[in-house]
Structure 1
Amino acid sequence: MAEPRAPQKDAYGLILDAIDTGIYRPGDRLVESELAERFGVSRTPIREALQRLETQSLLTRDGRSLIVASLTHSQLAELYVVRGELEGLAARLAARHAAPEEVRVLRDMLEADQALVDDPEAMSRANRRFHKQIHLASHNRFLVQQLDLVHRSMALLASTSIAADGRSEDTLREHDEIVKAIEAGDGDAADEALRTHISMAFVTRLKLDAAAVEAAE
């Protein structure tokens, strides 16, 4: 009897996760042979994954090389506008359709995240999990797909806004308002709370970017 074949690793997912977790940052060059060696995947699926990521504008050309894309100020503003609209809708739908168990998970996440306020990277990962749970609780597959695309683009930001002083604590307070609204089944309040959360994150991002520009001058 033939040995079962090991499942082929998902090259696209591996590269995307490496960008999302900061292994590869905006401006980093991605070399097909190096990626194949790092992930233990043949070069053909790596090549196909790179083409797919370029099509999605997560990678861009620098001469003949592919590099991780970065967002201009205008692109950043556009991204946050779309994110606010879609995230607000997800919270509104979650308030209507989330099962009691899904709401309980959100509350448990929020309580567990209290221990992470001094670890910006861990808090950033927890923040992504929290938002993903709201997306799923909306029970709208098409909205979840669009939000996945938005959050992939968020990976092109070189740092997390949660690293700013006091932002972890503010994030938890904002998350608490979102969960309270979803628990109450108040779609309007959930929508507003989520939009406010995204707006405050954008303000923090703009301040961080302005400070980085000033430091470089």
Structure 2
Amino acid sequence: MFLVRASDAAYEQLRQEIIDWVLEPGTLLGEIETAERIGVSRTPIREALTRLTAEGLVAASGRTSVVAPLSRKHVVELFELRETLETQAARLAARRRDPERFGELLAEFRRGPEEGHVLEERRPYFLSSELDSAIDEAADNRYLRSALEDIRGQIARVRFHARSNTERLARATSEHTQIVEAILQGDEVFAAQATAVHLRNSLAHVLGSLPV
């Protein structure tokens, strides 16, 4: 029987609470108080906070940990890094793609959500997680994948307040479709350009929705 380590469970709970703004930027994360609230000892909390600090979701100063601040400058810097990483991932995916997998993804994007489809609260963008996974695997670069995984928690937190806009969700689906088309065609330049356009549109929308 598989047992989840206490530190892993604490990490997952705190991470999701930060992403969902249950724990807002600047919230103090005292080891004793947090351990009592979650129901574990201080050691798992300490390990979880170390992981979240490495991920950029928690800021540490000495023995004090707080939910990392989030300003417009932080958001812009995050998207600048994201564009650098994701455009390169798209290039490599176009170069090394599995035509069958991306062909199936394209068909699903063009078909769109089924009538009455309800977007999941934590996965509001249609097929975005599936597209991320397909690109990661096609790019086949462990260092690039690791760098992307390191910032995805921050990205999820940033776009929390932007996800209720149905018009943006529809546009994002159209932009994702263009990215898949470019990758399927093996067009590295267009794949990178389509990714850059999508991310710049996303940044503009996020900046307009953040309560900071």
TM-score normalised by structure 1 residue count: 0.77
Q: Quick check: 1:51 aligned with 2:43?
A: no
Taking the aligned partners of 2:201 and 2:172, their CA distance within structure 1 comes to: 9
TM-superposed CA distance for 1:196, in Å, is: 0.6
- CA deviations over 1:6-60 (Å, ceiling 9, x no partner): 4524133443244334443333343434544565543212112213423544213
TM-superposed CA distance for 1:147, in Å, is: 0.8
User: Alpha carbons of 1:45 and 1:17: their partners in 2 closer, same or farther (altered >3 Å)?
Assistant: same
Q: Quick check: 1:130 aligned with 2:113?
A: no
Which position in structure 2 is the counterpart of 1:86?
A: 85
Structure 1 residue matching 2:178: 3-state secondary structure: helix
Taking the aligned partners of 2:126 and 2:32, their CA distance within structure 1 comes to: 29
Contact 1:117 1:169 in 2 (8 A): no
User: Alpha carbons of 1:100 and 1:21: their partners in 2 closer, same or farther (altered >3 Å)?
Assistant: farther
Deviates more, 1:71-80 or 1:124-133: 124-133
Question: Which letter maps to 1:91?
Answer: A
- CA deviations over 1:78-114 (Å, ceiling 9, x no partner): 1111111111111111111122343245336636762
Deviates more, 1:190-199 or 1:133-142: 133-142
Q: Quick check: 1:141 aligned with 2:142?
A: yes
Taking the aligned partners of 1:70 and 1:113, their CA distance within structure 2 comes to: 36
Contact 1:99 1:137 in 2 (8 A): yes
> Number of aligned pairs?
208
Matched ranges for 1:1-217 at <5 A: 6-9=3-6, 10=8, 11-33=10-32, 35-36=34-35, 39-60=38-59, 66-104=65-103, 106-107=105-106, 110=109, 114-115=113-114, 119=119, 121=121, 122-124=123-125, 126-157=127-158, 159-209=160-210, 212=211
Contact 2:113 2:126 in 1 (8 A): no
Structure 2 residue matching 1:25: 3-state secondary structure: coil
User: Alpha carbons of 1:171 and 1:139: their partners in 2 closer, same or farther (altered >3 Å)?
Assistant: same
TM-superposed CA distance for 1:143, in Å, is: 0.4
Q: RMSD of the TM alignment (CA)?
A: 3.2
Structure 2 residue matching 1:66: 3-state secondary structure: strand
Question: Which letter maps to 2:24?
Answer: R
TM-superposed CA distance for 1:171, in Å, is: 0.5
Contact 1:94 1:137 in 2 (8 A): yes
Deviates more, 1:73-82 or 1:4-13: 4-13
TM-score normalised by structure 2 residue count: 0.79
Contact 1:95 1:184 in 2 (8 A): yes
Taking the aligned partners of 2:39 and 2:104, their CA distance within structure 1 comes to: 35
**Residue ranges of structure 2 left out of the alignment (5+ in a row):** none
TM-superposed CA distance for 1:174, in Å, is: 0.3
- CA deviations over 1:121-176 (Å, ceiling 9, x no partner): 34248534432432232111110011112212224427243323510110110011
TM-superposed CA distance for 1:71, in Å, is: 1.9
**Residue ranges of structure 1 left out of the alignment (5+ in a row):** none
Question: Which letter maps to 2:44?
Answer: P
- CA deviations over 1:169-213 (Å, ceiling 9, x no partner): 10110011011111111111111111110010011112224xx57
Identity %: 33
